[in-house]
Structure formats: C-alpha cells, structure tokens
Chain A
Amino acid sequence: MARTIIPFGPQHAVLPEPIMLDLVLEDEKVVEAIPSLGFVHRGLEKLVEKKDFQEFVYVAERICGICSFIHGQTYCQAIEEIMQIPVPPRALYLRTIWGELSRLHSHLLWLGLLADAFGFESLFMHSWRVREKVVKIIEATTGGRVIFGSCKVGGVRRDIDAATLQTILKEIVAIEKDMHEIVDIFLEDSSVKQRLCGVGVLSKDDAYSLGCVGPMLRASGVAQDMRQLGYGAFRDLPLEPITRPEGDSYARCYVRCQELFQSANIIRQAVARMPEGEIAVKVTGNPNGEYTARTEQPRGEVVYYVKANGTKNLQRFRVRTPTFANLPALVKLLQGCNLADVPILVLTIDPCISCTER
C-alpha cells in the first residue's frame, strides 16, 4: 500500500508549543512517527557562563512556565549540596507546599487540555475553573501566578504566616470537592472511557527500557517516584507512588487524577507539621564541585547536573527534562495507532516543549 506522510505540528490545535512529528501513514494507520525538535531552543545551559550562580535561579525557574518552581528548587538543591548549605527545615516545608501546589495546577491544566483534545469543551472549562483556585493560592503566597520567584540558594525568599496556612487548608478542602466532581467524569463517563481505554498501550518492559519517567512510567505499572528519595520535606512525609498496570491512555489519566488528591494530602500534612524558625541562611563564597540533583516534577523526573569551579559563574550546567525522556516512548506508542488517536497520545505524555528545548 502506498504510504503518505502527514506533518503533525509544529503548529497544531492540540499543541500549545511547537514540536513536529512526521507521521508515515498506511491508510489510516500510523506506521512510523519521526519527531523534529529545536523550534524554540534558547540556549539557557550556555547562559551559566555569564550569570552569577545565585542569579541563575531566575533563569532555571524560567525554563518552563508550568513546572517553574520545581526547576528553581532542583537547581538550588544542587548548589546547596555542592556548598554544603544547611537549609532550614521551614524552608524545606515551604518548598514542598509550593512544589505540590505547582503539581496540582499542572495536572489540572493537563486534564483540561486532554478534555479539549477529545472534544469535551465544557469539561475543559471546568478543569481550568478549579485550576484557577490553585493559581490564586499561589499568587496570594508568592506574588506570581506561574513564576513563583520564591526559591533561592539557601532557603526561600518569602514566608507564609499561620493565618494564610489555615486559609490554604480551607481552600484545599473546597478544591478537593471540586476535583472529585471533575475526576469522576474523567474516570467514569462512558464517552471519555471509549476515547481513552485501550488507546496507546505501553507495556511495563517497554516503559522501563525506553526510559520513561513520571506518570507515564507509573501508568505502566512501575512504582517509581523521585519524591521517595526524600528531598525537601519528603524525608518526613510518607509517600506511596500511584500506579496502574494497564499502560493505556486511561491509566495515564487515572494516575494523574489520583496524584491530584495525593498532592492535596501532602500539602495538608506539610502544613500540619510545619516547623518554626528561619526561612533562609546566608550564603557566602562560591561553589566548587559537581552534583546531580533529581526531583519529581509533575511530568516526571528532572535531572540537574551542575559543575562549579570556585568562581561566581558555573562551569557547566545540564538539564534532563521529563518530556525529553518520554519522547522515545511517544514514538513507540504512535507506531500502529490510528491517525485520529494521535492528538490523544501526544497529550498523554504531557508534552512540555519549552522544558525539552531549554
């Protein structure tokens, strides 16, 4: 049968950011997908040679607009490990709360985009209505809606007072109630299930050997979550990774839906155990050494490699973002799928191209 090549992207209705996939088709079936990247490359990894290592937190945070806080946090963790800075416990707890708020708003954003991709406009609007409440908490505590600007080397730049923490707890209860309403539709509605169940099955072995991370890996039955490493306040907070054995699009949706409630639970525990004390320590001197920091972003594991040589500018800086790790699995998923399922499959890896291009 004659083959047709259909370009998918870089501009496409389901893609908020530019990635291009050349889809080789036989009739309606995709036989091969050839990805092209590099449309929004910014060269941030080279910028460390010009920016002071403390100023670079701002740049690291702007790698991505959605998982911004955890980018900044991971960078700070790497520098703090090199310089052996004892970060105050209160700062670690505040970082954890902001990190989980960022996971909440990222997953709600993704649920909305997924609903939009399978043509469920009203569900998309409701997901983003709930997300708006989370974003409001973030703005009330940090001053920014998506760029937190609160993490710095040695701690955090802002504190949350006790009254605001109690307000957050009340808000979280209301948000959880709203989330139950929309998650019920995502997981139980027959039209949504028809669109997701059995679409793009990734086996456990494939997920592992292709190097998947985050919800993509957990939806294929591998219980791996970088928060179990115990960074930040996770050394005190117990965490059980949410897994699902099927490995299809429904499983990936399920894992993210349940992670919403897990994040809300973590925020509740962190507020209850919040220690008193300083929120930052003074940083003197320059880093000398190298470190690889790993944290769990909404999209999966992010790896920061930082190498410093004792001057105020770093020598080498490298980021391995979760979307980059999930792209080989996407190419594998697309082989043999229907053309109509391509938007769903592209979305279920939760693509963040700005992260990938850096």
Chain B
Amino acid sequence: MPYFRMAKLALKWAVRRPATQRYPFEPRQAIALSRGALAFAKDKCVCCTVCRKKCPTGAIGVNRTQKKWAIDRLRCISCGYCVEVCPKGALSLSTAHGIPTVTKDREIYQVETPATPKPAAAPKPVAAVAPAPGGASA
C-alpha cells in the first residue's frame, strides 16, 4: 500500500528508547581511537624539534636553548602527525576535547630532560609570550 509507509517506522520508534544519548544525564562514552586534544609529557621531551617541523599548521613551537615547548591550541587540528614522528613518545592524543579558550595565548611548557627528573608537578600552562606568526619558536 503506498499510504502509511511511514506509520510502521513511526510507531516502532514511538515505543522505543530515543536513538540519541541522554547527555548530560548519561556520561559520554569516548571512542578509544578518537582524536582529541594533544597531550604533552614534559619529562620525555628532548627538544629535537621534529614535531615543530612536521606540524602542518605550525601550531607547535620548540626552543632548544631555553628547553621550552609550546602549542597554539587554536591552530592544532589534532591530526596526530606529531604523535607519529615523536621519537621519544612524549606526545599523545587524548580522547577528550580540549578545554575552551578565550584568548589566543600559547601554552608553554618548561621541558624537564629525562636525565634530571624533577618531582611531578601539575603541568600548569603559562601564557605570557605573544603568539609568533608561523609558530617559529617558543
């Protein structure tokens, strides 16, 4: 019958649970491979600058002399290229989204070389340096 084709589907879904997730009442289940915000382990980095050279958007800045590593979160596209090329495994992609930002400051980390590990401190982003065009150096 050409009429009421939709009725069967509509009735079926009228008595079912909604197909959408009841967020925020149900927590979001992250998919394991999901490409989220870039996470940096400052105790593993050796400032080799490979990630800076390979970043397609120029979001990463590395200063070898000052041992500083910086990222411009608004430029990062979470492509994971830096994670692939990092020789020390200092970079990884988390499944969570990055925190919302209201300024264009970069997150700058003081790299702690593996030879002299310091007691673990929370990676507190310091946002003081003006964003350099092209993300040349921290």
Interfacial residues, chain A to chain B (CB-CB below 8 A): 51, 55, 58-59, 120, 122-123, 126, 129, 132, 136, 139-144, 147, 149, 157-158, 181-182, 184-185, 188-190, 193
Q: Does B5 lie within 8 Å of A149, measured CB to CB?
A: no
Q: Does A149 lie within 8 Å of B6, measured CB to CB?
A: no
Check B122 for interface membership: any CB of A closer than 8 A.
no
Chain A residues whose CB sits within 8 angstroms of the CB of B57 once the complex forms = 58
Q: Does B6 lie within 8 Å of A58, measured CB to CB?
A: no
Interfacial residues, chain B to chain A (CB-CB below 8 A): 2-3, 5-6, 9-10, 13, 19, 31-35, 56-57, 77, 79-80, 84, 93
Q: Count of A-B contacts with CB under 8 A?
A: 55
**Chain A interface secondary structure, helix, strand, loop or mixed?**
helix
A184 (CB) vs chain B CBs: closest residue: B5
In the bound complex, CA of A182 to CA of B35 (Å): 31
Chain A residues whose CB sits within 8 angstroms of the CB of B33 once the complex forms = 139-143, 158
Write the nearest CB–CB distance from B15 to chain A, whole angstroms.
15
- B3 contact from A139, A181, A184, A190, Cβ within 8 A: A190
Given contacts A129-B19, A149-B80, contact A136 B2 (CB under 8 A): no
In the bound complex, CA of A141 to CA of B32 (Å): 9
Q: Does A143 lie within 8 Å of B35, measured CB to CB?
A: yes
Write the nearest CB–CB distance from B34 to chain A, whole angstroms.
5
Chain B residues whose CB sits within 8 angstroms of the CB of A182 once the complex forms = 9
- Could you name 19 residue pairs across A and B whose Cβ atoms are closer than 8 Å? A59-B56, A120-B6, A122-B6, A126-B9, A126-B13, A132-B19, A139-B31, A139-B34, A140-B33, A141-B33, A143-B34, A143-B35, A143-B80, A143-B93, A144-B34, A147-B77, A158-B33, A185-B9, A188-B2
- A136 contact from B31, B35, B84, Cβ within 8 A: B31
Write the nearest CB–CB distance from B31 to chain A, whole angstroms.
5
Chain B residues whose CB sits within 8 angstroms of the CB of A123 once the complex forms = 6
Chain B residues whose CB sits within 8 angstroms of the CB of A136 once the complex forms = 31
In the bound complex, CA of A184 to CA of B5 (Å): 8
Chain B residues whose CB sits within 8 angstroms of the CB of A185 once the complex forms = 5-6, 9
Q: Does B5 lie within 8 Å of A51, measured CB to CB?
A: no
Chain A residues whose CB sits within 8 angstroms of the CB of B31 once the complex forms = 136, 139-140, 143
Q: Which 5 A-B pairs have CB atoms at the shortest separation, nearest pair first?
A: A143-B35, A190-B2, A189-B5, A55-B56, A143-B33
